[in-house]
Amino acid sequence: MDYQPLSPENNDIRLLYFTQDKQSLVSTVTSEYPQGIVRLVMKTVSLDDYTKESQELMESNGTRLCSAKDYLKSKELVLAETEDRAAGLQRIANAVRDLYASPAFGRWSWGDYTALSYTWGEIGATRLILVNGHPMKVTENLEDFLRRHIMDIVEVVGGEKRMGYWVDAICINQNDVEERNVQVKRMKDIYMRASGTMIWLGNAADGSDKAMDAMTFVATYAFRQGLSTREEMVAFMAALLDKQHFLEVGIWKALQDLLSRPYWWRLWIIQEIALSTDSLSVVCGSKIINWPFLLLAIDVFASDWGTLLRAVDLDYKAMGIEDYDSSIFANSVNRILQLRIFRDAAFRGVDHPDLKKLLWVVRGARQMDPRDKVYGILSLVDHRLSELITPNYNLSTSEVFIGFAKAIISWSGSLDIITNPGGYRSVGRVLPSWMPDWTDRVHVTLEMTEKVSYQSSQNSNPVINFDSGNLIARGFIIDKIDGLGHADSSYSTKEEDFENDITQPIHNENPYQHTAGLRNALWRTLVLNRDSKGDIAPDSYAGLLEIPWPDEDSEASSSLLQEFQRLKFYYNKELQIGGQNLKSYFPIGTDIDSAMAGIGNSRDSLDRVTTTVYGRRLIITAKGYIGQARKETRRGDIVCILLGCSIPVILRPGTDGLSYKVVGESYIHGIMEGEAMEWLKAGQYSLENFTIS
């Protein structure tokens, strides 16, 4: 393919145009391509070449850009305040078709464009297409979209449509590293200016037509009934379990298969979905659902996780399938909810989403080039941070990751980046331990809060240097790890599996002065002393210690309560805290559900515990402080306050006696709100340099 250079001065992009209809596609049939060869025209256009009408719109609105929303509004293609919704939507649909067929359609002199969001698929599985008459290999998934678009959507007007399509794999010269370096920073502009974005999930398969219809049904019902509260949606979910109302065997499996398709886990879609205009549609095969309706269906599913998982279980059993993982559905739903966070932030006018949340989601995303873990989110981060990073695909992955971490530290004035989970791995580690490995995929649950949670170092500024890959940071040692609870969240019920994993503390100190203080520290540690909004946990959460310890005959109906019981009974039953085992801090009882009825905020506190313990273990320090830390933590690791880091860091002394490795973040009750910094000022501790390799 012969690419001509794009002109930055002209604000050029390349667009694809469909010039085939069904009949002309058939005319390209060959023995190798019995369904015909897709032919496209690619043109270079300028995003500055607005029509006179668009320029007048920008002047009247006082804006530099002519948005698709403003353009459609000028054509009266939005609902009037007093207009019947159903009639109005039909009027708009008819008018849009007429507008698209008009030779004067578009905000630019050359027309308008739609952006495509999709997953490339297997690189080795390719098909031939023709672009400007030149043969070009594209992945099967992309060719499927192009072919489906011709067969089902394209209506050729005068031999050529004025609607172009921006597709990254074709419109960016993938063989030109310098062009890729430049264009990757233009993604935000390209998706924000598009008239709409089309999400392509792939061809129909595994009951996807049925799943798309199901989501449309659920969303339509919820919309027409005005379901808005969680209670209303929970009731609807319960009704969905009644097969006479809706369900047929296999529907939940089909939904799970659709929502767990590779597209949803692709890294680049985070910014593509977040930055797209109001017109965002999801296409699978010949079925289409708009983004707001898909989210409404997802909201219904997520309103009651217990009912959702039960529905999936019943569906698989009805199909005679024994080997399945119903948590895949929950994870897939949660993934889409995460994507909504960033899109909602963009539509609220927020310049950039919370970086910590963004980096959490990046850890779970997939991409072909690991460097895109950084480059694929530059359009979403604060512009002052993105300006510190210049995409360069000539750099190694390690160089890109380390440069990104340094940029974050410089931009934020914080060392919090080094505490990200997964920072420590003893085997196969290439990056320094203070540098999170963004290719290390971990399942995470976002905490929906914008608040700064802790102030262990009292907003101090980091004092650091970099030396040959080492981070030299100033701070002080608070304590050493002495005792450790169970490290794994497996569902084994063999008590010996957990007892053997517990490291009992050698010391029995109580820095909380008395038993009441120790109990207070325990329940606050279980919830990391925060509610789901990021505020300090209310005193009512102390009811966690009033939940009876189960005996052999007790059984809890709540799935959250069952998870809490596993945490207590199976995981840490014999862990010594303050000279007595964990079990002794709870009452004994059999009627657990009744006992919980009088405990305030029981669901909120239980939900918080099951979130906070994931990937962590209870710890006891030599001075008796209770906390939680990453499951990789071991006895002898040190608890350290580093200047400029909002939470205590667990460091592991190196064999050379001079350096340390980062194990991860920690919660240590009693030093999270800056208490240790006061001790430092009082002369109880002294600062030193830590060389972290």
Nearest Cα to 691, choosing from 465, 383, 382, 402? 465
Query: Both 120 and 246 in a single domain?
Result: no
Residues whose CB is less than 8 angstroms from the CB of residue 242 and which lie 6 or more positions away in sequence, other chains included: none
In a domain, 559, yes or no: yes
| Cα 83 to Cα 284: distance, rounded to the nearest angstrom | 31
- Per-residue pLDDT tens over the stretch 252-272: 999 999 999 999 999 888 889
- Per-residue pLDDT tens over the stretch 11-20: 999 999 987 6
Query: Both 473 and 386 in a single domain?
Result: no
Helix axes 305-318, 327-347, angle to 10 degrees: 140
Q: Which domain holds residue 346?
A: 208-266+292-419
Residues whose CB is less than 8 angstroms from the CB of residue 382 and which lie 6 or more positions away in sequence, other chains included: 351, 352, 355, 411
| pLDDT the model gives residue 439 | 78
Query: Both 37 and 61 in a single domain?
Result: yes
Decide the pairing of beta strands 659-668 and 688-692: parallel
- Per-residue pLDDT tens over the stretch 60-70: 989 888 888 88
Share of the chain above pLDDT 90, in %: 48
Over 60: is that where the pLDDT of 450 sits?
no
In a domain, 442, yes or no: no
Biggest CA pair distance of the chain: 86
In a domain, 510, yes or no: yes
Domain stop point among 177, 202, 227: 202
Residues whose CB is less than 8 angstroms from the CB of residue 401 and which lie 6 or more positions away in sequence, other chains included: 373, 374, 431, 435, 436, 437, 438
In a domain, 434, yes or no: no
Query: Both 187 and 155 in a single domain?
Result: yes
SS3 sequence of 450-511: CCCCCCCCCCCCCCEEEECCEEEEEEEEEEEEEEECCCCCCCCCCHHHHHCCCECCCCCCCC
In a domain, 278, yes or no: no
Q: Do 406 and 462 contact (CB within 8 A), yes or no?
A: no
Query: Both 226 and 114 in a single domain?
Result: no
CB atoms within 10 A of CB 418: 26
Query: Both 135 and 30 in a single domain?
Result: yes
In a domain, 331, yes or no: yes
The phi, psi pair for 639, rounded to 5°, reads: -100, 125
Query: Both 537 and 685 in a single domain?
Result: yes
**Helices and strands (H and E) in the chain: how many:** 25, 21
Query: Both 147 and 163 in a single domain?
Result: yes
Query: Both 664 and 581 in a single domain?
Result: yes
Domain stop point among 161, 187, 202: 202
Share of the chain above pLDDT 70, in %: 84
Query: Both 248 and 122 in a single domain?
Result: no
Tally of domains in the chain: 3
- Per-residue pLDDT tens over the stretch 258-317: 999 999 999 888 889 988 877 899 999 999 999 999 999 999 998 888 888 888 888 898
Q: What is the mean pLDDT of residues 327-337?
A: 88
Identify which has the larger pLDDT, 551 or 470. Answer: 470
Query: Both 25 and 97 in a single domain?
Result: yes
Characterize 604-616 residue by residue with b for buried, 16 or more Cβ atoms within 10 angstroms of its Cβ, and e for exposed.
bbbbbbbebbebb
| pLDDT the model gives residue 158 | 38
Q: What is the mean pLDDT of residues 127-152?
A: 89
Identify which has the larger pLDDT, 380 or 681. Answer: 681
| pLDDT the model gives residue 159 | 38
In a domain, 279, yes or no: no
Q: How confident is the model at residue 353 (pLDDT cuts 50, 70, 90)?
A: low
Whole-number average pLDDT of the chain:
84
Decide the pairing of beta strands 649-653 and 659-668: antiparallel
In a domain, 76, yes or no: yes
Domain stop point among 202, 218, 242: 202
> Three-state SS for 116?
strand
| pLDDT the model gives residue 16 | 94
Characterize 261-274 residue by residue with b for buried, 16 or more Cβ atoms within 10 angstroms of its Cβ, and e for exposed.
bebbbbbbbbbbbb
pTM here is 0.77
| pLDDT the model gives residue 156 | 41
| pLDDT the model gives residue 633 | 93
Query: Both 476 and 620 in a single domain?
Result: yes
